[in-house]
Amino acid sequence: MGQADDRTAINPAARAVAPPFTPRQPDIPRQADTLQQPHSPGHSEKARSRVNLAVAIAGLTLPNPVMPASGTFGFGAEYAPFIDLNRLGAIVVKTITLHPTSGNPPPRLMETCSGLLNSIGLQNPGLEVFIQEKLPYLRQFSPPLIVNIAGRTVDEYAELARRLDAVAGVDALEVNISCPNVKEGGIVFGTVPAMAARVTAAIKQNTRLPVIIKLTPNVTDITAVARAVVDAGADALSLINTLQGMAIDVETRRPALANVAGGLSGPAIKPVALYHVWRVAQAVQVPVIGMGGIMNARDAIEFLLAGASAVAVGTASLVDPGALMVIIDDLENYLVEQGLTDVRELIGALQI
Amino acid sequence: MIQNLEAEVLATEQVGAGVYLLHLYAPDVAGSAQPGQFVHIRCSETTDPLLRRPLSIHDLGKEGELIFLYQVKGRGTAWLARQEPGSKIDILGPLGRGFTLPASKINIRIALVAGGLGVVPLLFLARRARARGYEVDFFYGAQNGERLFQAAALRALDINLHIATDDGSAGWSGPVTKLWEQYLQAGDYDRAYACGPRAELKEFARLAGEAAIPAEVSLEERMACGLGACRGCVTALRDTPGNRYYENVCTGGPVFDAATVDWED
């Protein structure tokens, strides 16, 4: 998929393909009652078609601002029985490393209060297998394809960027400089502004693709890293990656995760994520993709109001595989109910 | 085809201390369910508990009925036990790769070795095997006689049921794998299957390996998506050259060839 091919899906009225799976309401209760059921009576197709959901990020036009969060969506095919991938704002795949990565020993997961601790350790088949076996499937879908990459050295990031630049079907790179799970990996780059900037510059020198830097919240001042990577050429930022945490089994007195610590995601981290997005959106001029605990459209709208131009949904898809579709529908319904015609009116519209 | 739907609770019955049988009406899931597969069940109306709970399919009832046998271990399963008949539960399934029975032919004899709630998927497997006319030796071990569940349902399957308990309060006294070992040579099994605590599965795999019987085990890991997307529920396997790698329990399993599992984990 090139930069300028078929984007008819930008017009919601052109969304004629019926999803293979009828979206259900998530059983997660809404926090208020203003959101209607998707396709509820009272919202005529005419009213819905007048609403613009498209947003621009780093030179890409997204048909709507809702995309999966890297690491929770596999390589797309896993969710095809439940959602229409052509209805997503973008497709974001699991982190790719230069070489195959086996990941951390199990147990890799621990559920916490409204949250999920994980230490997957970036398990993935590596760049070559991704290009040969995963990309051909992903090319058939119209939304922009964002490939998430991680390296152990600046050179590896540069090499990943160089090789993906030459591959058809990739529309942007999201750069994981913040994964807290791999000891010699992301954490070093994402927590030191100068090193994060070096990675960004090296990638920008090796690709024409838009570069989105994904920031870690596990720092003293996230705006310092944000400014450093934007100065180094980042086209957009995504945040937040998971918060470092741990859990302990009091019977065995051992850590719940084999890796001792892991990254916390889910509704538990949403207030932290929202605060970081709000701060970063004010600190930089590039678009921000907000994420962290978004479970429904109201959560997504909070991130837009805080200044995010788009949002990513992660843990919610692990609970409800149809969550992305429900959120897109409910976002559109919210706009109609609010009498808005363009989702961009929400971006940064927080009133203080 | 994997379904995500609301299934009606038909009945919940307590069959032991914290152990329940759950009957759900889900014809679209039951229709394609295979022994060893599981259903991922949302056990919450809020975000806490957050994740679904994977439950192996225990049996099929009449006309679209799925039956589960589970122990209440935490808040999710406690929520499940409180659901009244008539209420609807969000289920995702059938998921995973189940047991593989030998290609249909006569004079097939198989051994099933269950430890504790490892009986859950093996009852369904025994029923399927009997429907094909295979002879089934079913070895069922538990802590004590009160922890033996579904013994009547098993007996009704016309199988050779061998009971073992740790305290000798029912059947043979000792580990179920020791009991199986006594029948192993004479059994001349075409295939063996097991589900239970990991230490027992490891011993089962060793015995099956020594006797050169093809064997399958059903494994358990903490799970998130159940769809193979998050890579959270992996277990360590060995490929033919002996290299260790991680495979999803949700999509690569939960049933694995016992010879490929890395038991040193």
For the segment A27-46, what is each residue's pLDDT rounded down to a tens digit? 444 333 333 344 444 456 66
Q: Cα dist. A207→A151, A155, A204, B86, B92 in Å?
A: 15, 13, 6, 58, 41
Task: Inspect the interface and report whether the beta carbons of B246 and A315 lie closer than 8 Å.
Answer: no
Q: pLDDT tens digits, residue range B147-197?
A: 999 999 999 999 999 999 999 999 999 999 999 999 998 888 999 999 999
CB B10 within 8 A of CB B64: no
Q: What is the pLDDT of residue A44?
A: 60
A109 interaction partners in chain B (CB closer than 8 Å): 222-224, 232-233
DSSP-derived 3-state class of residue B77: helix
Task: Inspect the interface and report whether the beta carbons of A123 and B234 lie closer than 8 Å.
Answer: yes
Distance (Å, whole) CA A333 – CA A280: 28
Domains of chain B: 3-95 (2.40.30.10), 109-218 (3.40.50.80), 221-265 (2.10.240)
| One-letter amino acid of A56 | A
- Tens digit of each residue's pLDDT, chain B (265 residues): 899 999 999 999 999 999 999 999 999 999 999 999 999 999 999 999 999 999 999 999 988 999 999 999 999 999 999 999 999 999 999 999 999 999 877 889 999 999 999 999 999 999 999 999 999 999 999 999 999 999 999 999 999 999 999 999 999 999 999 999 999 988 889 999 999 999 999 999 999 999 999 999 999 999 999 999 999 999 999 998 889 999 999 999 999 999 999 998 5
Task: Inspect the interface and report whether the beta carbons of B234 and A29 lie closer than 8 Å.
Answer: no
Q: Which of B92, B229, B244 sits opposite A74 (nearest CB)?
A: B229
CB A229 within 8 A of CB A196: yes
Dihedral angle, C-alpha A113, A114, A117, A122, nearest 10 °: 180
Test mutation, B231, B233, B238, B249, chain A, max A CBs within 10 A: B231
Q: pLDDT tens digits, residue range B224-239?
A: 999 999 999 999 999 9
Q: What is the pLDDT of residue A165?
A: 96
Distance (Å, whole) CA A255 – CA A242: 18
Task: Inspect the interface and report whether the beta carbons of A118 and B223 lie closer than 8 Å.
Answer: no
CB B148 within 8 A of CB B170: yes
Task: Inspect the interface and report whether the beta carbons of A110 and B222 lie closer than 8 Å.
Answer: yes
Test mutation, B221, B225, B237, B261, chain A, max A CBs within 10 A: B225
Task: Inspect the interface and report whether the beta carbons of B229 and A118 lie closer than 8 Å.
Answer: no
Q: What is the pLDDT of residue A25?
A: 43
Chain A CA closest to residue B228:
A78
Q: What is the pLDDT of residue A46?
A: 60
Which residues in chain A land under pLDDT 50?
A: 1-42, 179-186
Rounded to two decimals, the ipTM of the complex is 0.94
List residues in chain A touching B: CB distance below 8 A.
21, 24, 27-29, 71-74, 78-79, 81-82, 94, 102-103, 105-111, 113-116, 118, 120, 123, 266-267, 295, 315, 317-322
A255 forms bridges with which residues in the sheet? Answer: A248
User: Which residues of A are the active-site residues?
Assistant: 179
Chain B CA closest to residue A74:
B229
Which among A35, A50, A143, A162 has a CA at the least distance from the CA of A91? A143
Alpha-carbon distance A113 to nearest alpha carbon in chain B (angstroms): 6
Which among A342, A333, A298 has a CA at the least distance from the CA of A41? A333
Q: What is the pLDDT of residue B265?
A: 59
A245 forms bridges with which residues in the sheet? Answer: A262
Which among B56, B46, B51, B61 has a CA at the least distance from the CA of B9? B61
- Token duo for residue B115: 């430890």
CB A266 within 8 A of CB A258: no
Specify the CATH architecture of the domain A8-15+36-345: Alpha-Beta Barrel (3.20)
DSSP-derived 3-state class of residue B261: strand
Q: What residue has token string 């589900």?
A: B195
pTM of the model: 0.90
A82 interaction partners in chain B (CB closer than 8 Å): 4
CB A75 within 8 A of CB A186: no
A118 interaction partners in chain B (CB closer than 8 Å): 224, 230, 232
Q: Where are the domains of chain A?
A: 8-15+36-345
CB A182 within 8 A of CB A127: no
Alpha-carbon distance A231 to nearest alpha carbon in chain B (angstroms): 33
Q: What is the pLDDT of residue A242?
A: 96
- The arrangement of strands across the sheet holding B88-95 comes to B53-56, B38-41, B88-95, B3-16, B19-25, B65-71, B59-60
CB A313 within 8 A of CB A69: yes
**Mean of the per-residue pLDDT values for chain B?**
96
CB B97 within 8 A of CB B251: yes
